[in-house]
Amino acid sequence: MDYKEKYKKIVNSLLKKSFPELKMEKIKIIEYPNWLIFWANGFVYKLPFSWGIFISKTERQLNRKALIGLLAHELCHVEQDKKIIKNFLFGFFQSLFVDLSWAFDTKTSRIVERKTDLLAIKKGYGRELLELVLFQGKKSSKRKSAKTHSRGYLSPQQIKSYMKKLK
């Protein structure tokens, strides 16, 4: 199956439905082998004339609902980054800073990830995000899930309670 094509279709429909601010942006999907950047399932990077959503090949096993959750989360990154990144060079260093802060698990990255999850729920993708988190929880050990959660990502309980609050 052509996964890039499958992701692109989901991204296009998400853009149409929930990301009017990104209407004029060019967004590329790039898959990478999971050994390359083994600590992240996906991330966003500013490219010269577009945005790159990088997705690890391990994510091919996600079901459609969880995949929508992941791509909505990544598009929320783009939407937030777009507000601060005005050109490629600035974007390059800004993205580098954010990614390094993620790799070293800093407070900045935890705040960013939390904000991004909350925005995805606000846009109506709480159920999909929940599916993603539950799927990833099933796959990994308790210790690894706790570590993921400590990086700022919402837990299933937090997603549910935030969804209730928004109703």
Whose Cβ is closer to Zn ion: residue 113's or residue 131's?
113
Backbone dihedral angles phi then psi of residue 53, each to the nearest 5 degrees: -100, 115
Instruction: Quote the least distance from Cβ 114 to Zn ion, whole Å.
Output: 10
Binding mask 94-113 for Zn ion (x = CB under 5 A): -------------------x
Toward Zn ion, which CB reaches closer, 15 or 112?
112
Please work out, in degrees rounded to the nearest 5, the angle formed at the alpha carbon of residue 26 by the alpha carbons of 23 and 28: 130
**Residues 16, 11: Cα–Cα separation, whole Å:** 9
Beta-carbon neighbour count of residue 89 at 10 Å?
11
Task: Tell me whether residue 65 or residue 80 sits nearer to Zn ion (CB atom).
Answer: 80
Q: What are the φ/ψ torsions at residue 31 (nearest 5 degrees)? A: -95, 145
Site for Zn ion in 110-149 (CB under 5 A): 113
Pick the closer one to Zn ion by CB: 81 or 113.
113
Binding site for Zn ion (CB under 5 A): 113
